[in-house]
Amino acid sequence: MGEGLAGALAEATLRVGDQAGKWDRDGLLPLDLLHDLGAEGRLCAQVPEEYGGWGLSSTLNGAYTAHVGGLCSSLRSVMTSQGMAAWTVQRLGTPEQAAAYLPRLTGGELAAIGFSEPGAGSDLAAMTTTVRRDGDTVVLDGHKKWVTAAHYADLLLIVGRYQDGAVAVVVPADAPGVRTERIADPLGCRAAGHADVHLDGVRLPADHVLGGHGLPPTLLVTTALAYGRMSVAWGCVGILRACLAAATAHAAEREQFGKPLSEHQLVAGHLADLFTAEQVARRVCEHASRCWDEGTPDQVVAAVLAKHVSATQAARGAATAVQVLASAGSQDGHPVARAYRDAKLMEIIEGSSELCRLMLAQHALSLPGTS
């Protein structure tokens, strides 16, 4: 990344400009913009430089992700999808697969990764998408639901049951038997390209299976979701920053009963809560990224904690910002109105708040002195 982090943040601001509200209302990101950003390595910045990426640490990529998240959560969602796909290839693929696919993900092609199904979200045992071996090919059948960025994707990374375990398969979006069905009018991240993916007898060479063999479903999904949780968490920091900026500016300028809103104690309390939420979310994300960069044993639980805290703080903080701005922040497309809808989805994707709480409770029970 020759331009440095400050240059990357400035470039992101320039590329998004004042278009995020329009993209949200239209429900689409410009495809040429996505391809351009992808070709410049901006959609999966943690990919090593040898594969055309920027080679950022989790900490630096987090700062970059938060900045984009504050500009446009839909664009950040596409970044999350691209980064998850790249991370899964890095962790589960063979060296040959990494060399084959990672340059494509830093060269302009777009990717989406499919986990959830109509009857299987967090319950991996209920997953019904199957991958079966047939000679030197594999055949996929199933239905993936709410796949972020699938509407734009050139490559789909599909997780399915395989023998007694599970596999991730790289599927060209235009392969025979693949059909994507865009989700109309999602609550939030409207331009992120959410779509259902139908797989009907999709036949591919067996070397499209990452690593060439099956893994325990929990291990496979946890590997991919670790990156996604970190990306969502940092994106929520961006949401909170955008809400704080909008709320403080409005409260300083708007007058009621002869003085600025910011001088009314109850409104000032809202601003304090927003500032606190941003600080808490940022600190927990910084901790999680340090664990990631240092490879500590707490890496997985730190990512879950960061995602849970940041998402809940963002949802609460966005609601607070709407309260401060009132009608001024209630118009469709306004940054605070977008944040209100987008943040709610963050409490659901990459592991719902309920699932995160269960995982954190299990971790707490495993600590010394708790039993």
Helices 73-92 + 217-253 axis angle, to 10:
160
DSSP 8-state class, residue 262: G
Which among 216, 365, 221 has a CA at the least distance from the CA of 300?
A: 221
Instruction: Say if CB 165 and CB 214 are below 8 A apart.
Output: yes
Per-residue pLDDT at 222:
83
Instruction: Say if CB 171 and CB 206 are below 8 A apart.
Output: no
Per-residue pLDDT at 3:
73
Per-residue pLDDT at 122:
66
Per-residue pLDDT at 142:
97
Per-residue pLDDT at 213:
85
Tell me, what amino acid is at 231?
Answer: S
Q: Is pTM beyond 0.85 here?
A: yes
Per-residue pLDDT at 1:
63
Beta strands in 262-353 (DSSP E): none
Instruction: Say if CB 232 and CB 61 are below 8 A apart.
Output: no
Per-residue pLDDT at 220:
81
Instruction: Say if CB 341 and CB 188 are below 8 A apart.
Output: yes
DSSP 8-state class, residue 169: E
- The set of residues, in sequence order, having a beta carbon less than 8 Å from that of 118 and lying 6+ positions away, is 143, 145
Per-residue pLDDT at 219:
81
CA distance from start to end of the chain? 49
Predicted confidence pLDDT, tens digits, the chain (371 residues):
667 899 999 999 999 999 999 999 999 999 999 999 999 999 999 999 999 999 999 999 999 999 999 999 999 999 999 999 999 999 999 999 999 999 999 999 999 999 999 887 767 678 899 999 999 999 999 999 999 999 999 999 999 999 888 999 999 999 999 999 999 999 999 999 999 999 999 999 999 999 988 888 888 888 888 999 999 999 999 999 999 999 999 998 887 887 887 778 999 999 999 999 999 999 999 999 999 999 999 999 999 999 999 999 999 999 999 999 998 888 887 999 999 999 999 999 988 999 999 999 999 999 987 65
| Burial environment of residue 264 by CB neighbours within 10 A (0 to 12, 13 to 18, 19 or more) | middle
Cβ atoms within 10 Å, residue 39: 14
Instruction: Say if CB 129 and CB 117 are below 8 A apart.
Output: yes
How far apart, in Å, are the Cα atoms of 63 and each of 6, 129, 235, 250, 335?
Answer: 10, 36, 9, 26, 20
Instruction: Say if CB 153 and CB 110 are below 8 A apart.
Output: yes
Alpha-carbon distance of 77 to 89, in angstroms, equals 19
Which among 228, 202, 215 has a CA at the least distance from the CA of 139?
A: 202
**Cα dihedral 317, 275, 234, 364 sign:** negative
| Burial environment of residue 170 by CB neighbours within 10 A (0 to 12, 13 to 18, 19 or more) | buried
Tell me, what amino acid is at 349?
Answer: I
